[in-house]
Amino acid sequence: MPLPARRHAVSARFPDLFDWVDTPWSAFLPFGSGQTFRVEDYTEGGRYVVRAELPGLDPERDVEVTVEAGVLTIRAERREETKEGRRSEFRYGSLTRSITLPEGADPDKVTAKYAKGILEVSVPVAEPAKSAARRIDIQQS
């Protein structure tokens, strides 16, 4: 049975790393999927889109999106609620993910929206200028 096609973030160096870490044993590892968040990215209709899984967060209070020097950075923080007699398996803390924007991206026109636990950041991307091959004359001395 063939596996379904999957999209991975362009900037991910080891995209399948999160697949094997996302197991019941990941809580015992010194790192894990709880210390980052999954993203997917694609280009469609002249826009570069990054979608991040950030369930259970308040986007106004817990999420920050910035662009600097061609790098999109998403910061999120899940704050722990302490109540007497409560047991929790949730993971808390600050998470950050940085993604290099593609060539032609317009950092001044970035938009972001959050719905149903998914943050979607969209950046307009200009088509790269296509230059035709040009013959260069060689001068003789």
> Is residue 130 in some structural domain?
no
Residue 138 tokens read as: 């060689």
At 72-123, the pLDDT tens digits run: 999 999 887 777 888 877 777 888 999 999 999 999 999 999 999 999 999 9
What angle (nearest 5°) sits at the alpha carbon of residue 58, between those of residues 53 and 59? 70
Rounded to whole angstroms, the Cα distance separating 85 from 66 reads 38
Beta-bridge partners for 12: none
> What's the structural domain count of the chain?
1
For residue 12, what pLDDT is reported? 46
pTM of the model: 0.65
In this structure, is the dihedral angle defined by the CA atoms of residues 43, 44, 48 and 53, taken in order, positive or negative? negative
Domain of 42: which CATH number? 2.60.40.790
- Phi and psi for 5 in degrees, rounded to 5? -65, 145
At 24-69, the pLDDT tens digits run: 444 444 444 446 789 999 999 999 999 999 998 999 999 999 999 9
> Is residue 107 in some structural domain?
yes
